[in-house]
Amino acid sequence: MEDKKEFKIKFYTEDEIKKIIKDKKEHLYYVDTGIDEVLVREQDLPDVIVSFNRNMEMMDLKIYDEQKISMDPVITTYGEFLDKADPNLREKIIDRLNSLQIGEKEPKDFKIIDEDMYEKVKQNLEKQKERNKRNKEAR
């Protein structure tokens, strides 16, 4: 009998979040489970969609682009399957998502970003940026 690996949600540390924010190539998405909202990296979306649904409970997710101030989700799911998706984002994630859904691949370990910690780190970076700017102007 095969032991099923225990599903544990891992979170990024403050330092890791700082690096992600500073990396302009990273694209983040809010994943709304209906109960909680977390931030995930674009590359982890397929694994998050499948893992959340298989390990927690079947849930219809709403996924929002962190960079766009919009109440319209870029993806909605019906369980682990896409319901509606932005065509560009769909194209980026569909191959891995399909491979996970049909069992060709296993979901990889991923981390999520706590929304409150993200906001705190983001605010601290902004304050630091302002201090640096003021110090530069004072010279």
Are 118 and 30 in contact, with CB atoms under 8 Å apart? no
In a domain, 16, yes or no: yes
Provide the pLDDT for residue 2.
47
Are 17 and 121 in contact, with CB atoms under 8 Å apart? yes
In a domain, 1, yes or no: no
Furthest C-alpha separation in the chain: 69
In a domain, 35, yes or no: yes
In a domain, 3, yes or no: no
Instruction: Compute the distance between CA of residue 115 and CA of residue 83 in angstroms, rounded to an integer.
Output: 25
Provide the pLDDT for residue 98.
97
Instruction: Compute the distance between CA of residue 115 and CA of residue 130 in angstroms, rounded to an integer.
Output: 23
Provide the pLDDT for residue 133.
81
Enumerate the H helices of the chain as residue ranges. 14-22, 45-55, 87-101, 115-138
Provide the pLDDT for residue 42.
96
In a domain, 5, yes or no: no
In a domain, 23, yes or no: yes
Number of domains making up the chain = 1
Domain range enclosing 132? 10-138
Provide the pLDDT for residue 1.
44
Provide the pLDDT for residue 15.
95
Interstrand relation of 37-41 and 28-32 (parallel, antiparallel or unpaired)? antiparallel
In a domain, 20, yes or no: yes
In a domain, 75, yes or no: yes
Instruction: Compute the distance between CA of residue 16 and CA of residue 113 in angstroms, rounded to an integer.
Output: 9
Instruction: Please list the pLDDT of the chain residue by residue as tens digits (139 residues).
Output: 444 567 788 999 999 999 999 888 889 999 999 888 899 999 999 999 999 999 888 889 999 999 988 889 999 999 999 999 999 999 999 999 999 999 999 999 999 999 899 999 999 999 988 888 888 777 6
